[in-house]
Structure formats: C-alpha cells, structure tokens
Amino acid sequence: PEQPLRVILETKHRAGKTVTIVYGFIGSEEAMSDLGKALKNHCGTGGSVKDGEIIIQGDHRQKVFQYLKQKGYTKVKL
C-alpha cells in the first residue's frame, strides 16, 4: 500500500506515559482497526484506534516500523 504513514513517539497529554502513534492511514475504519490489532499483538502491548490514529502503548517505534515495512507499506517514516 502506497500510504505515507508516520510513526512518532508522544508523551504529551498522556499522564506521562509514552505512546507510539501511527498516523496518515488511508482506508476504512475496519482496515485501520485490523492494522491496529495486528500491531498491538506484534508489540505485545495495549493500545487503541481513534481519530485516524493507531496508538500503541510504550516506545515501539522500531518494531512498528519493521512490521509495516514487512507488510508492504513502502512510505513509512519515523
């Protein structure tokens, strides 16, 4: 999929907790939810999918980046 996805780390507004956020996903809510579920399983952690963002708890930028590349997402930026 030719999607310009961004993988970022954020700590603001999260009670000091670090989260990895994937945004820029284009597609159905269901497809995004499935990708979010797959990423949570891959990282072995919790998270959520809302407001067009996939939120993974903790710093999993490298894992998420590698997983997306492996799944064929070519335009992924850290």
- How confident is the model over 11-56, as pLDDT tens digits? 988 888 999 999 999 999 999 999 999 999 999 999 999 999 999 9
Identify the residue with better confidence: 68 or 14. 68
Is residue 60 predicted with pLDDT exceeding 70? yes
Identify the residue with better confidence: 2 or 15. 15
pTM assigned to the model: 0.91
Cα–Cα distance, 1 to 6 (Å, whole number): 14
For residue 28 the two structure tokens come to 């159905």
Residue 7 half-sphere exposure toward CB, CA atoms < 13 A: 23
Identify the residue with better confidence: 2 or 66. 66
